[in-house]
Each structure stands twice: as structure tokens, then as C-alpha cells.
Amino acid sequence: MKKRIQCLLDNELFAYLFFGIATTLIAILSRLVIYQLSHQELLATGLANSIGILFAFITNDRLVFKQARKNWSRRLVKFTLARLFTFGLDLVLTFIFVTRFPEIIGRFVNNNLDLVNEIETLSAQIAIIMLNYFLSKLYIFKKTR
């Protein structure tokens, strides 16, 4: 069993998805805990996103793309900028397809705004996961070992 798990984690794409799920869970848990301690929703959101980005960077750097320690600070800056870019893309897609032109998706779901939002969210997240992977693989975590 241990050998099978190790084989899966040696697969770069599987490891990326596995640690992406772990990052999501850590960010959600962090947000909930920080909110319960502070009752400050913006603080909780900001800190949880920061924790998620740091966890994602560490796991991607060391475990997914297996980078050497050299130049880690440069990779961290690139990684953070890439994640901020895809966050901005998420906001733009939400604005276009949910806020401004919901009828684009709405015509397929009886103009139900809740369904429009769910479809846009799922579609955007799939695109963002793929974009984050390609940015990480081609721009941030180049083969160094």
C-alpha cells in the first residue's frame, strides 16, 4: 500500500491535484479557525489565503516539482504573482458571466442566477487549476535537478 501511494505521489499531475486539494482544505480550515478567534471576516480571508498560498508553494516546490533549495525566494515571488493573476482572472470571469452578462449562461438554466454562479464557479476553477499548473510547470518550477 505504501509503495502504491508513493507511486501515485511520484506522478507529477496526481501530486499536483492531491496537494491542491490539501491546500484547499487547509485554507478553509484556517479561515474558519481565524474567524472563530477574531470574528474579523476580512482578516480571516486574507490570512487563510496567505496560508494557502504558502502551503501550496512549499508542497509544489519540494514535493510536486522537486526543486533544489537554490533560488526558492525568486520562485516564491513568481508563484505569488501567478496566484494573484489567476485570482484576478477569477474575479473578471465572475464579473463577466455572473454580474454583467448572466444571460450568456442563464439561457441554458432558465436564467437561474444561482445555477449561473455555480456553473461559472466550476468552469472558472477548472480553467484556473489548469492555468496554475501550466504556469507552475513552465514559468515557476523549471527542472533544476
Q: What is the pLDDT of residues 12-56, one digit of tens each?
A: 999 999 999 999 999 999 999 999 999 999 899 999 999 999 999
Q: What is the pLDDT of residues 92-140, one digit of tens each?
A: 999 999 999 999 999 999 999 999 999 999 999 999 999 999 999 999 9
Contact between residue 27 and residue 44 where contact means Cβ atoms under 8 Å apart: no
For residue 6, the model assigns a pLDDT of 78
pTM score, whole prediction: 0.85
- Every domain of the chain and the residues it spans: 1-64, 68-145
For residue 144, the model assigns a pLDDT of 57
Tell me how far apart the alpha carbons of residues 49 and 77 are, in angstroms, rounded to a whole number. Answer: 15
For residue 142, the model assigns a pLDDT of 85
Tell me how far apart the alpha carbons of residues 58 and 117 are, in angstroms, rounded to a whole number. Answer: 31
